Chains A and B, each alone.
Chain A
Amino acid sequence: MGEARKNKAISESVSWRKTGEEAVLLDLETSEYYSLNDTGTFIWERFAAGRPLSSISEELAAEYGVSAGQAARDAEAFLKDLAALKILNEGDVK
């Protein structure tokens, strides 16, 4: 089935895969799915691979040409959104 889930912050009930350039996340408990845009997919792939938020923010800033502070705020906000949707276990997000 979907991609590997190396980050324990990702809820056990969530499965995901890339489809084209975007990631699709499925919560098997609620049957709700979420498709991410290219920025979200960029963050998600690295987060799911177990990369720390600081490293993801640095790459995000370089890739999209925004300041390090802006990238960090955006990545953090994105992960908070996912935690609110129970895609991530809030306490484990680092």
Chain B
Amino acid sequence: MSSGAKDGKGAPGPGKPSPRALLELAALKARLLKLPEGAPGTLYIALTSRCDLSCRHCKYRSSPPGPDMPFGELRRLLENAASSGIPRAAFFGGEPLLYPRLEQAVRLASGLGLFTQLDTNGQTLDAGRAGELASAGLSLATISLHSAEEAGHDALGGPGSFRKAVAAVSAALRAGLFVHVSSCFFSAGLSSGEPGRLAAFARGLGAHGVRALLYSPPEGGSARLPRRLSRTLAKAAPDGFSRGCVRPGRRACAAAAGEILFTDAELNVKSCPYAVRPLGKATAGLSRFFGGERAPAGLFPCHSPGRSLRRR
């Protein structure tokens, strides 16, 4: 009979997340080591397609907003995620801070044992709201910040959006949350050292990491850029502070490897928020979407079939 204590490093980086958030992260890491076969580590949930910004690079910019996710459907989705062994729920949008029952959603997810994350542009994330969300069980805020310079960010998000996003990072840190900066890079930015500048800036703010994304045009992204981004990030931040969709040394992105899953506010499931092809409806359960999305050789789920055909 073994009692089997196993150790692992749960150390956060800079900043001081609350003891609750630290414990939630430790529990998440423990669960990720024992994921059920094929189960994704994270379910991204678009609560709404509404947004209070109109970022120039956003692929949803020209789409008229649809209905918010009904709370009853969200409850069923979260219960299904928890019972399927998915350990993390990431509330996504549109802008999830606009969802009228966000705090309730966070409380529900946290109560189901899910590590709870918010992906936000941060425009209305002040100290009061961050504190309420932390009290409800939020552990990680991922806040969009696309440049280390005000002009660079505001060129995408609009005037004043940089200062609000920076203030949101501070508010979330003060609330005891883990904070990641989410940045969208363009191919030109990869050559000009932007990932390194952004990582340094995020560290200076006290953030715990950078999630780097690539601009994904509606017709699908470049096949080569995700791996190039991965290499660039590894050079800019060798300690793993900045991470993209493709881990260094791997060929498949997180979506293709089945590490993440996404559902929009109308319960359409895709392998990633930026994947081109819908996989089906979440209403019949999530487990049938486990295992990742097979993309054409050398490509990613965010590439359209048309683009892949043109490449050949």
Where the two chains meet, the residues of A that have a C-beta atom closer than 8 Å to any C-beta of B are 1-2, 15-17, 19-20, 22, 24-26, 28, 31-37, 39-40, 43, 64, 66, 70-71, 74-75, 77-78, 81-82, 85
Contacts and interface: CB of A to CB of B under 8 A. Distances in A.
A57 B246 CA distance: 48
Chain A interface, >50% SS class:
mixed
B80 interface: no
18 contacts: A15-B19, A17-B23, A20-B113, A22-B30, A24-B26, A26-B22, A31-B9, A32-B8, A33-B8, A33-B9, A35-B8, A39-B3, A40-B5, A64-B1, A66-B1, A71-B1, A75-B3, A77-B3
A86 B23 CA distance: 17
B207 to A, nearest CB: 18
A32 B9 contact: yes
Contact of B5 (A15, A17, A81): A81
A33 B5 contact: no
Contacts of A64: 1
A78 B3 contact: yes
Given A15-B23, A17-B23, A19-B113, A24 B30 contact: yes
Contact of A31 (B18, B20, B22, B87): B22
A6 B31 CA distance: 25
A43 B22 CA distance: 23
Contact of A17 (B8, B12, B27): B27
Interface in B1-57: 1-12, 18-20, 22-23, 26-27, 29-31, 33
Contacts of B1: 39, 64, 66, 70-71, 74
A1 B20 contact: yes
A32 B87 CA distance: 20
Given A2-B23, A24-B30, A35 B6 contact: yes
B31 to A, nearest CB: 6
A75 B3 CA distance: 8
* Chain A CB within 10 A, most for which of B4, B5, B22: B5
Contacts of A19: 27, 30-31, 87, 113
